[in-house]
Structure formats: C-alpha cells, structure tokens
C-alpha cells in the first residue's frame, strides 16, 4: 500500500491547516514539528506561514501534538484531487 499511512491518509496529500490564536497557549510544539509551516509571534502565539502545505505529514503531527487544540486540519486532498480542481 504505497503512499499511505496507518491513519489512512496519503503521505503526498495536501492539507489546509487552521490555527486559532485565541486558543493557542504558546507552547511552540507546532514550530518544532513543522517549522516551514508554523512560527510564533512576539507573544509566543502561533503564526501560520503556509495555509496549504504540500506535505501534510509534519502538519498532522503538529495538530496531534498541540497541547491546547489550537490547530486543526480543515481539508485534505490528494494530488489527483488538486489537479482536477485546476
């Protein structure tokens, strides 16, 4: 079963990630999991660098590891679905 994970998601799948800064506690776990996607502002709160990263694996890890629940994946699509939309 090439290209899939034990969670049933494709490793090449694109994701749309949403960050709720009102819920964020500034733990920084997201930045450690996916530094190309997340950053922290001067107050330590999450800041999205990329809303639709191509590699969703690290983003899913960040969402699962967020202690406050400030992150969520709003949509997932495979590369085939993305091409069909264009």
The verdict on residue 8 lying in a domain is: no
Domain count, the chain: 1
- Alpha-carbon separation of residue 62 from 42, 80, 82, 84 (angstroms): 20, 24, 23, 28
| pLDDT score recorded for residue 7 | 39
Distance CA(8)–CA(22), nearest Å, equals 30
The verdict on residue 2 lying in a domain is: no
Query: pLDDT by residue (tens digit) across 36-80?
Result: 999 999 999 999 999 899 878 999 999 999 999 999 998 765 554
The verdict on residue 72 lying in a domain is: yes
* Cβ-based neighbour number of residue 71 at 10 Å: 26
DSSP 49: S
The verdict on residue 4 lying in a domain is: no
Residues 80 and 71 sit within 8 Å (Cβ to Cβ): no
The verdict on residue 58 lying in a domain is: yes
CATH of the domain at 67: 3.30.70.20
DSSP 40: E
The verdict on residue 5 lying in a domain is: no
Host domain of residue 73: 14-85
Indicate the pLDDT class of residue 34, thresholds 50, 70 and 90.
very high
| pTM summary value | 0.72
| pLDDT score recorded for residue 35 | 95
The verdict on residue 7 lying in a domain is: no
């Amino acid at each position: 079963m090439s290209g899939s994970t034990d969670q049933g998601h494709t490793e090449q799948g694109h994701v749309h990630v949403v960050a709720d800064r009102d819920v964020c506690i500034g733990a920084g776990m997201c930045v450690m999991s996916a530094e190309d996607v997340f950053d922290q502002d001067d107050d330590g709160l999450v800041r999205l660098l990329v809303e639709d990263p191509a590699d969703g694996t690290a983003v899913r890890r960040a969402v699962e590891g967020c202690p406050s629940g400030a992150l969520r994946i709003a949509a997932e699509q495979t590369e085939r679905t993305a091409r069909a939309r264009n």
